[in-house]
């Protein structure tokens, strides 16, 4: 347990998260407009999204399916009966004057997620509910000096709100929770988890208490769009609350915003100013009634989930926990690794892929799927290493050239004469020359300076431009010098 040290003793942080995840549907929740990212403003808006009078919403079946699959993936109860409600408030980018959401009867009820902590530890976080709702449009304040423009492309985009119980106890656990949740959503295919684009955003409810006592009053920090900001905001907010309580003040329940430039949270509105949304069932939409056969057929169609893949990587591929975890957590990494590892040495592939491919993506700020070398092409490079034709270090250089030129591993190795020298006859000749010209070093070795072997290996590498097979060189050296 990670406690905060206060002037008057220890404090425990209590956190509950509300995550908004944009569903991966092609069209909006109640209209046929596209949800494609990056379009010109107001080009993906139907009359429904612009809320013209008399327009009627039609529920997107795909969105329902993705929400149910997500619920099943977190072992949640799927509610066969759910209801869409109007959440009423005025905002310039909300042309309806209300958001269609689910209030008392959400589509998914209670579930749970197992999160992974440092040192191989795990913890279960309970999920309260998942409900479906539409996103609002976007106000653009930076397009003209005296005007605010409104872009309705986002208006009506389908979101899932995933609400956790207050089971999280530190910023690190909150981060682990979001990482795990994002991973599950990616595997299910219900959200791409892209936080930079705002497709996954997080509200953090934070309170502090003496260990084991009743929950304290919470503050809600809105709209955290990176895991780093989530952690910073929680740590700042918990410390702020401890300082307030210890100086005799009371926490007032309120909504706060995180200022990522200053690293502080600031009050946005208090509970008294909180909206009264006057929820009521949307008369334009029938309640959503799902048949149990439909739910069961979706259960059968669930893909392999991160926990199952992790187990398989550890048990079948014999990968160590931390390596398996890295490969599994981001679905794109697993998608790259798996086809390469098929019928190859999984340990070799995992270490090569992590260094070359993931390293390259990281250095060039690319998604793994944008790395210009495809898994099949990369497999050829792994085969050259397995066959002893190139060593791992040369392979990394070849990989970069593959990425930059689009050439195959084999052709680069041939063109540049990079093939590793494993032929002991050839290496013996080189060694004999070196030994003949290094009497002093030979004497030192005979007198017990074993470290000097490294010097000999270095000489061979220099002569062969790094292409000698180091295992063969070491074996030969020992044989020759021990004579």
Q: What is the dihedral of CA 19, 51, 255, 215, to 10 degrees?
A: -50
Distance, in Å, from the CA atom of 195 to the CA atom of 31, rounded to the nearest integer, reads: 24
Distance, in Å, from the CA atom of 473 to the CA atom of 460, rounded to the nearest integer, reads: 8
Residues 6 or more apart in contact with residue 90 via CB below 8 angstroms: 97
Under the binding rule (CB under 6 A), the answer on residue 16 touching ligand ADP is: yes
Pick the closer one to ligand ADP by CB: 222 or 354. 222
Under the binding rule (CB under 6 A), the answer on residue 21 touching ligand ADP is: no
Pick the closer one to ligand ADP by CB: 133 or 389. 133
Q: Identify the residue among 89, 91, 215, 280 touching ligand ADP (CB under 6 A).
A: 215
Under the binding rule (CB under 6 A), the answer on residue 166 touching ligand ADP is: yes
DSSP state of 370: G
Under the binding rule (CB under 6 A), the answer on residue 162 touching ligand ADP is: no
Under the binding rule (CB under 6 A), the answer on residue 165 touching ligand ADP is: yes
Under the binding rule (CB under 6 A), the answer on residue 205 touching ligand ADP is: yes
Q: Pick the stretch among 4-12, 83-91, 212-220, 402-410 that binds ligand ADP (CB under 6 A).
A: 212-220
Pick the closer one to ligand ADP by CB: 274 or 443. 274
Under the binding rule (CB under 6 A), the answer on residue 459 touching ligand ADP is: no
Contact of 165 with 14, CB cutoff 8 Å: no
Under the binding rule (CB under 6 A), the answer on residue 131 touching ligand ADP is: no
If one counts every other C-beta atom within 10 angstroms of the C-beta of residue 216, the result is: 20
Q: Pick the stretch among 36-44, 60-68, 200-208, 305-313 that binds ligand ADP (CB under 6 A).
A: 200-208
Pick the closer one to ligand ADP by CB: 114 or 165. 165
**Among the residues of 274-408, which ranges form H helices?**
292-300, 306-315, 321-329, 331-341, 346-353, 359-363, 375-386, 392-405
Pick the closer one to ligand ADP by CB: 104 or 471. 104
C-alpha count within 13 angstroms, C-beta hemisphere, residue 435: 20
Q: Identify the residue among 218, 256, 309, 333 touching ligand ADP (CB under 6 A).
A: 218
Distance, in Å, from the CA atom of 409 to the CA atom of 377, rounded to the nearest integer, reads: 7
Q: Identify the residue among 82, 99, 155, 164 touching ligand ADP (CB under 6 A).
A: 164
Distance, in Å, from the CA atom of 385 to the CA atom of 409, rounded to the nearest integer, reads: 11
Considering only residues 418-447, where is the footprint of ligand ADP by CB under 6 A?
none
Binding site for ligand ADP (CB under 6 A): 14-18, 163-166, 205-207, 215-216, 218
């Amino acid at each position: 347990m990670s406690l905060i040290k206060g002037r008057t003793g220890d404090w425990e942080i209590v956190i509950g998260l509300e995550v908004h995840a944009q569903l991966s549907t092609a069209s909006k929740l109640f209209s046929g407009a596209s949800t494609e990212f990056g379009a010109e403003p107001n080009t993906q808006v139907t009359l429904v999204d612009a809320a013209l009078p008399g327009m009627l919403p039609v529920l997107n079946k795909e969105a329902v399916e993705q929400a149910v699959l997500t619920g099943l993936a977190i072992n949640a109860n799927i509610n066969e009966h759910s209801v869409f409600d109007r959440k009423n408030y005025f905002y310039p980018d909300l042309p309806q004057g209300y958001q269609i959401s689910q209030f008392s009867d959400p589509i998914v009820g209670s579930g749970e997620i197992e999160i992974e902590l440092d040192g191989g530890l795990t913890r279960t976080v309970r999920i309260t509910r998942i409900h479906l709702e539409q996103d609002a449009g976007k106000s653009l304040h930076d397009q003209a000096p005296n005007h605010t423009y409104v872009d309705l492309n986002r208006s009506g985009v389908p979101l899932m709100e995933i609400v956790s119980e207050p089971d999280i106890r530190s910023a690190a656990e909150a981060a682990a929770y979001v990482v795990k949740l994002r991973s599950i959503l990616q595997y299910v295919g219900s959200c791409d988890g892209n936080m930079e684009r705002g497709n996954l955003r997080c509200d953090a409810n934070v309170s502090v208490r003496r260990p084991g006592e009743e929950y304290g009053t919470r503050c809600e920090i809105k709209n955290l769009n990176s895991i780093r900001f989530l952690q910073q905001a929680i740590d700042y907010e918990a410390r702020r609350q401890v300082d307030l309580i210890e100086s005799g003040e009371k926490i007032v329940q309120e909504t706060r915003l995180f200022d990522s430039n200053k690293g502080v949270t600031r009050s946005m509105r208090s509970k008294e100013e909180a909206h009264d949304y006057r929820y009521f069932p949307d008369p334009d939409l029938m309640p959503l009634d799902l048949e149990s056969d439909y739910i069961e057929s979706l259960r059968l169609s669930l893909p392999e989930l991160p926990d199952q893949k992790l187990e398989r990587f550890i048990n079948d591929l014999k990968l160590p926990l931390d390596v398996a975890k890295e490969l599994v957590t981001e679905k794109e990494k697993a998608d790259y690794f798996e086809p390469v590892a098929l019928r190859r040495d999984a340990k070799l592939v995992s270490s090569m892929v992590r260094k070359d491919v993931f390293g390259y993506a990281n250095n060039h700020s690319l998604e793994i799927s944008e790395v210009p070398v495809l898994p099949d092409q990369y497999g050829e490079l792994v085969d050259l290493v397995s066959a002893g034709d190139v060593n791992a270090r040369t392979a990394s250089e070849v990989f970069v050239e593959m990425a930059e030129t689009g050439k195959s591993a084999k052709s680069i190795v041939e063109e540049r004469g990079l093939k590793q020298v494993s032929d002991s006859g050839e290496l013996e000749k080189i060694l004999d020359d070196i030994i003949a010209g290094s009497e002093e070093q030979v004497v030192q070795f005979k007198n017990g300076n074993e470290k000097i072997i490294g010097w000999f290996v270095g000489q061979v590498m220099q002569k062969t431009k790094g292409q000698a097979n180091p295992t063969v060189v070491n074996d030969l050296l020992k044989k020759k010098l021990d004579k």
